[in-house]
A and B are shown apart, each in its own frame.
Chain A
Amino acid sequence: MVLIQVFLVFAIIAALVAVEAPSALSSIISLGAVGFGLSIAFLWLGAPDIAITQVVVEIVTLVILIRATIARGVTEIRGNESKTLLIGSLILFGLGSAFFANYLSDFPEFGKSAMETFSNPASQFYLKFGLDKAGGPNIVNDILLDFRAFDTLGEATVLFAAILGAITLLNRKVFVDSGEEKQ
């Protein structure tokens, strides 16, 4: 439990460095440190599927971000902030903390999962019948591909739409044909 908190604190420090560092390269690499630290925390939290996914997704995110900044000669990404925005974000932080403290008692205590605190949870059904009904020992994949496969179909649709949007934005031909870009 202390180990998990240590990795979360590491992620917070890395996130602060990523937000505040003036150089683009160190900022992006610190962002990678956030993801890798969290992935080790996921491993200790009993979620090896999430840990694997987090590591590989983090690597591809870093490559895309570096391609977007360093490769076009942007090495300094110093973002000066104004006073009013700082005050506004402090007020937002205070409001968020108040909400968090108000509803903290409704969360299950750490170390007691949600399926133990609430009566008749869905997770118990998945754990009990996953091996017999779906046939796979990995219960996470049973939920993903058998019990809640319709969710996965919707997720694939969302991913398809996001990728289509990115490709349309990066495809120069579309903008040239519509006459939006005159150079």
Chain B
Amino acid sequence: MTGMSSIVKTVTRWVSPFIFAFGIYIALTGHLTPGGGFPGGVIIAGCFILLTLAYGKETTFGLFNLESSAVTDSLAALAFLCMGFLGYVFGGGFFNNFIQSGFPGTSFRLLSGGNMPIINLAIGLKVGASLFAVFAYLALFRAIEED
């Protein structure tokens, strides 16, 4: 279980940070360009799946193990829910866009759209962490079976 050949490992080492950054970018600028939290999260999960396939699961779990994926998943879901309750407290309705109605930013900029970038980032982290957890359990299941 040491992963694939050195060519794949080298290419993965160069490419995977850019894939991760691209996933964050897609999730963060979802209110301006095509994209959003869901594709961004799947791209983040794809980055860790690539690392797992190329380097084997021990190296990847050193970066991001099952406990941290569970914690990230739960915290992102909690942040998503908290934005809803904050909208209820400050804006008068569940998931009211209280930042946009209170401090309207300039349109077509990153810091516009109120709480949409925050919710997008939370959804992206949640989807990425949960999909990576499923793949990690698949990999672990196969490793147990081979014993």
Contacts and interface: CB of A to CB of B under 8 A. Distances in A.
Contacts of B39: 49, 52-53, 56-57
Nearest to B119: A145
B42 interface: yes
Contacts of A145: 31, 37, 115-116, 119-120
B64 interface: no
A153 B116 CA distance: 13
A72 to B, nearest CB: 7
Interface of B is mostly: helix
Contacts of A56: 39, 42-43, 46
Nearest to A146: B97
A134 B101 CA distance: 8
B42 A134 contact: no
A136 B119 contact: no
Contact of B32 (A138, A149, A170): A138
Interface stretch (B1-9, B10-18, B139-147): B139-147
Contacts of A71: 142
Nearest to A47: B34
B97 A60 contact: no
B31 A152 contact: no
Nearest to A170: B137
A67 B42 CA distance: 17
A146 B42 contact: no
A49 B113 CA distance: 18
A72 B31 contact: no
Interface of A: 48-49, 51-53, 56-57, 59-60, 63-64, 67-68, 71-72, 131, 133-138, 140-142, 144-146, 149-150, 152-153, 156, 159-160, 163, 166-167, 170-172
Interface of B: 26, 30-39, 42-43, 45-46, 49, 53, 73, 77, 80-81, 84, 94-95, 97, 100, 104-105, 107-108, 112-116, 119-120, 123, 126-127, 130-131, 133-135, 137-142, 144-145
15 contacts: A52-B34, A57-B42, A67-B135, A71-B142, A72-B145, A135-B104, A136-B32, A137-B31, A141-B116, A146-B97, A156-B126, A159-B126, A163-B130, A163-B134, A170-B140
